[in-house]
Amino acid sequence: MQEPEQQQPLKNPRARLTPTPPFLRDVAQQYLNVRLLDPLTAYQVRGQHGIKPTAFLADSLLVRGRDRTTIATLEEVAAEAGFSLAWDARVAEDQALLDRAELAKDEREAIEAVWVRRVRLVPAEEPVQPVYKPIDTWRLLQAYRVRVMDDPQRLADVGLEHPASADPFTGAHPFTGAHPFTGAHPFTGAHPFTGAHGVSGSAGLDAYASPGWGGRQPVSWNGLAPTPSYDLDGTVPRPVVAVLDTPIGEHPWLRKEFVRHDVAVLGEPIGHHAETPAEEEAEESGMTEWMVGELGQDSGHGTFIAGLVRQACPEALVLDVPVFGNDGVVAESDLLRALQLMALRQLLARRDALPDEVTEPVDILVLSLGYYHEQPEDAAFDALLRGPIDLLGRLGVAVVVSAGNDATDRPIYPAAFAPHTPAGLTAHPGCVPVTAVGALNPDSTIALFSNDGPWVRFRRPGASLVSTMPTTYDAALEPTNALVNADAEWRTGLDPDDFSCGFGVWSGTSFAAPVFAGQLAAALAARLLAGDTTDRVALMRELLDQMPGAREKRPPAIDPAEVD
């Protein structure tokens, strides 16, 4: 009897689990209209690239341009599923805005080619079945793709709407702990997990959420305000840095001489602005839930970024373009609209055709946010977001993006639009490329939370930074101790959310990006002071190439045995 052939042992007997960025685990619970795309249950089409987990809005799609074939095909597949298309009310408003703009033919074609509109899927007016199941937008999108499979242009015209964010579930959140002091001895506790919003449950990552370890907390500043190197009377041009983030709050460093609010194009405000007294109160106080009274996850985010830009480039003029509130989340359609309006503004500003108070073209645009796409390997994976960003680059704007805080090498967008291989994303000579920035610790080591990948070309300080916070913030948390002494003077512990001092400590790649943007602005200011009149696209590309700390090649692996 022949003995059975001995089976070779498995090299790795344990099943390999696919790592998923932490935010995807909780997003469906945080936002009721957001769904998680699971590769194991999602509809797929033969021949398509594989699907990775992502978050998307459950009842809407994004549509680029105004191609009749695209719209007709989408209407057909929606009707077959028992639904119809309901276009966002701003579609007509935006078209009227473009009609008012005095654009040359090539300019109009360029802006309309990247203009994206939001469409909701609603039940048909006369449904076959009065009881219906909510639409599966991913299945509908796949049905659309099957119809246009042979037309790459139409294939990229329609996509999911993702929630972009500056909080943990997209990787750009600046590690904040809601309950900073939970031990009797906060400076010597052996368990630094006192932040209520840990990034991934890792001891090393959660530490950054704790005050004293880089988490958001008030701090005293005894230095001088940044002083410009030349007069800001208009004789010498100033670098213009647009910050698309939370609203920039009150601070002595951020007066109207240095920060301009209410940015608009042809009278149309750009970004989200408070529309109710409750929203105005939330912006001023930083509190999102008045019945609880705590600061929001991203309260002060944009103010902190503006202060970092000022520290690096005192000459800079910062444009405040709010795109999300204190929760740090923005629907992709709202982000796209802000970018599209910024591109339209840039087109007009380059020809000095803006009637607004701030007429200078933008030089640098800071985006400290992102999301993970479901099909990053696809050549047409995200033409919708990339379109307006590339157009801004062709108009001389350096778009600087945070790399993300999930300690992952999975591409996050728009950071991964930065030129890199093997994806084949190259820097077109007529375009300022996207720049992705990772974070460093104070000792210049790489911050543990910082995402990495070949698209991350630069790293800058991003942990335990000191910058500006709105002086109007004093939320519900109180000092651990408070008493009145014999002289009727208050003696207290630190108030963890009283930022009336105007300064705080915070961590995240959200802040490494504006550090780099400010340094780039300072290099531009020096050239402007010298009277440089080089074409702005060529000049910004040259300055980026000259910025120190570029990672042209990935460093060799380190042998753990060589580490002390």
Catalytic residue list: 245, 301, 510
Long-range CB contact pairs, 14-20, < 8 A, 24+? 19/408, 19/410, 20/53
**What is the DSSP pairing of strand 503-506 with strand 116-123?**
unpaired
Distances (CA, A) of 5 to 2, 8, 12: 9, 9, 20
Long-range CB contact pairs, 533-540, < 8 A, 24+? 535/396, 536/361, 536/363, 536/396, 537/393, 537/394, 537/395, 537/396, 537/430, 537/431, 537/432, 540/363, 540/396, 540/397, 540/398, 540/432
Record the tokens describing residue 81, joined without a space.
């599923």
- Residue 177 makes CB contacts below 8 A (sequence gap 6+) with 194, 195, 196, 197, 209, 210, 211, 215, 216
Compute CA 159 distance to the chain's CA centroid, rounded to the nearest angstrom. 19
Count of H-run helices and E-run strands, the chain: 13, 22
Question: Cβ(498)–Cβ(295) under 8 Å?
Answer: no
Backbone phi, psi, residue 513, to 5°: -60, -50
For the beta carbon of residue 521, count every other beta carbon within 10 angstroms: 29
Record the tokens describing residue 384, joined without a space.
């919708």
Residue type, 401: V
H helices of 81-201, in order, are: 90-100, 105-114, 137-147, 152-155
Compute CA 396 distance to the chain's CA centroid, rounded to the nearest angstrom. 20
What is the residue-wise DSSP string for 347-398? HHHTTT---SS--SPPSEEEE--BB--S-TTSTTTTHHHHHHHHHHHHTT-E
For the beta carbon of residue 529, count every other beta carbon within 10 angstroms: 13
Please list the residues that pair with 4 across neighbouring strands. Answer: none
What is the residue-wise DSSP string for 450-491? ---STTEEEEEE-SSEEEE--TT-B-S---S-EEE-TTS-EE
